[in-house]
Amino acid sequence: MDKTKDNTRVAVLSESLFLEGQVDDERMAIKGVTLIKAGFSSNSDKGRKRYYPAEVLKNSIQAFEGAIVHVNHPGRKESENLPEGDALGVRGWYENVRWDNDSQSLKGDQVLVDRESTRKELWPIIKAAVSQKPDLVELSINAGGRVNASKVGEVDAAVVEAIFKGDKPNRVDIVTAGAAGGSYKNALMASATDDLTDLLLKEMSFEQWRESNPEFMERLKNEMKTARDTEALRESTTKNEDLTKEITRLKEELQANATALGSYRRAELADRILFDSALPARIKQEVRKELLEADGEESMKKIIMREQTKYKESPKPEVHISGNGTRTNDKPAQTTAPANQFLESTFGLRSSADVPHDGETPEQWAARTNRNYGA
């Protein structure tokens, strides 16, 4: 067998055989049902006749041991609406699967669940197919496999290299028409169920998937591009959000700084106006708060002018000066009468106010003191 190295791929295998075996009416079983034969199949795969090597079938016993028996394949709608399958559709299983060297085939015992509907409705049809009319019903086996485009002798063949066993048991369904026009003797056929699809996709190489679905590659590229663009957009959006938050923070900080600067400038202006006002410290302290709340420099100056006017018009306490020229709270001693008497008796002056000023002429003195000069 000339094997072509790079032509291995996953495939759906479909075969049909008439139902043969021994009827066990009490147990409701058909013993020795032929599942699949070694050699060339009547079916082809991409123009190549399918070929089952005996060694491959010998290694496929576990792929069919415990296989579930259903009545009919689920349609596409049933598979979509009830992907887990219909428990009431289960009718039995296969056991004691073995390699039969004489017939060069895999055989197994089909055992049906003893249900009233099965015994009354299905079992008579199966027995009739075994004993009277083989094409009355057929078997259709759900499984997937790996094939290689090779030569068997001079024949271009699709050589089956393996038959898969998935996580769930394979199915051998009882149908009215086999997958390849055969009968209730055997079948390896694709189903619309998700289990087989998942199994085939799991076993399929990327190269085969790409070859089988070229349009998917373009879709995949677009989706990857969309994913990259979406991620880039997400990153850009995140950066923009971060920048927006930072700008908002800076604006708030700038506003706070501007407010603080305005307050500082207002306080500096108020202090400068107060300094130039010559008002007493007590009044400055009292009026400063009002200045800080005033509307601009002109308003501040008006307040100062108002306070200056009030201060000028208010009574002033007497300021006492000590003998050394410093301010004191002590009242000065009263001028004694003898001092005035001395001025008057000696110089003819009634008080110290009559003392001539520096540079004052006699005429000026007389006018100021109401004296007649020369009298």
Residue 345 and residue 287 share a domain: no
pLDDT of residue 341: 64
Both 168 and 294 in a single domain? no
Q: What is the pLDDT of residues 221-253, one digit of tens each?
A: 787 777 777 777 788 888 888 888 888 888 888
Domain region containing 358: 332-369
Same structural domain, 69 and 13: yes
pTM higher than 0.75: no
Residues 293 and 194 grouped into a single domain: no
Of 173, 193, 212, the residue at which a domain comes to its end is: 212
| Domain-located, residue 55 | yes
Nearest to 11 by CA among 71, 51, 64: 51
Q: Taking residues 141-153, what's their average pLDDT?
A: 84
Tell me whether residue 21 is in a domain.
Answer: yes
Let me know: does 12 contact 87? Beta carbons within 8 Å: no
Has residue 294 been placed in a domain? yes
Do 203 and 124 lie in one domain? The reply is yes
Residue 324 covered by a domain: no
* Structural domain includes residue 318: no
In 3-state terms, what secondary structure has residue 73?
A: coil
Determine the straight-line distance between the first and last CA of the chain, rounded to whole angstroms.
170
Query: Has residue 218 been placed in a domain?
Result: no
Residue 321 lies in a domain: no
Query: Based on the structure, what is the number of domains in the chain?
Result: 3
CA distance 349 to 27: 164
Do residues 190 and 196 lie in contact, with contact meaning Cβ atoms separated by under 8 Å? Answer: yes
How many Cβ atoms are within 10 Å of 90's Cβ, its own excluded? 16
Most confident of 20-24, 160-164, 192-196: 160-164
pLDDT for residue 199: 55
Express each pLDDT in 32-53 by its tens digit: 988 888 999 878 888 889 899 9
Whether 103 is covered by a domain: the verdict is yes
Q: Which two tokens stand for residue 367?
A: 């006018």
pLDDT, tens digit, for every residue of 205-222? 666 656 666 777 677 778
Contact (CB, 8 A) for 143 and 150 = no
12 & 75 share domain: yes
Same domain, yes or no: 167 and 232: no
Between 226 and 110, the more confident residue is 110
- Cα 367 → chain centroid: 106
Q: What's the confidence (pLDDT) of residue 2?
A: 54
